[in-house]
Amino acid sequence: MIAVLSDIHANLEALSAVYKDLTQRGIKRVFFLGDIVGYGPNPAEVLDFIQHFEFSLLGNHDEACVKGPPKNFNAAAANAVWWTRRRVCPEEMAGAFIRPGEYQKRKELWEYLQKLQPVRTLGEMLFVHDNPADPGSWRYVLNRQDADACFKTHPHIRAFFFGHSHVPGVWHENSSYAAEPGKRYDFKRRVMVNVGSVGQPRDKDPRACYVILEPDCFRFCRVPYDVRKTQAKIRGCQELDQVLADRLAEGR
């Protein structure tokens, strides 16, 4: 079995809960689809955790941390980017934050973040953070037209896995479904799968979301975590917008 995660957004409590859940299921292979950082209060810790997964992809917030936020980021997202960068980029960290040996560790994590790529293909499966039709464009898959474009762009791919919108869902070439936790979805037809978000779900369910791949099917899993602990960390940081804490309890 393989666990496919996306959009952790520096939420260490959510990541820890998901990792405990998939470990209890005996899952050893973990694929991550991007947005390690952004919004949340533990970017360095999550970045350190993520590098041990089988592979990780580049998300738009990861890219923004490296290059600076694009114009379409709202104020809360842009502020979180600059705050995150000061905590993971060794050249921008204040000297007081760096303990002996810490600089080299942060340098390695920063270099890891800089090397991330936006897409990965394994056999007839394609993994991407955003839109499979144009990886790295940071466009969303929101409707049938978006999904159809992906199927047409990659005629030899049978299964697409992505995140970015934080809303789990399933698309076939002539139908779409809301994600139902625990339900068995087979691979008999070509399929696109939004795996949802670990650290900031937006489908009105605050539980962390991820997907399990089995040889002949996939399933969505929802995992509760200590939302209040993450909220307290965000609220304890004046540089992070408080709406980033409020939304976690509401799944939005």
Sequence-distant (6+) residues with CB within 8 A of 193 are: 159, 160, 161, 162, 169, 170, 171, 185, 211, 218
Residues 46 and 119: their CA atoms lie apart, in Å, by: 20
DSSP 3-state of 194? strand
Amino acid identity for residue 164 in this structure = H
Confidence band, pLDDT 50/70/90 cuts, at residue 20 = very high
Please report the DSSP string for 214-233 in residue order.
ETTEEEEEEE---HHHHHHH
Residues 9 and 34: their CA atoms lie apart, in Å, by: 9
Residue 97: the pLDDT is 56
Sequence-distant (6+) residues with CB within 8 A of 47 are: 36, 37, 88, 109, 112, 113
Query: pLDDT tens for residues 105-160?
Result: 888 889 999 999 999 999 999 999 999 999 999 999 888 888 888 888 999 999 99
Least confident stretch, 17-31, 72-86, 170-184:
170-184
Query: pLDDT tens for residues 193-223?
Result: 999 999 999 999 999 999 999 988 999 999 9
Residue 173: the pLDDT is 84
The pTM assigned to this predicted structure is: 0.93
Query: pLDDT tens for residues 55-97?
Result: 999 999 999 999 988 888 999 999 999 999 988 887 776 555 5
Architecture of domain 2-250: 4-Layer Sandwich (3.60)
Residues 219 and 84: their CA atoms lie apart, in Å, by: 32
Q: Are 251 and 223 in contact (CB under 8 A)?
A: no
Type and span of the H or E element at 234: helix 227-235
Q: Are 40 and 46 in contact (CB under 8 A)?
A: yes
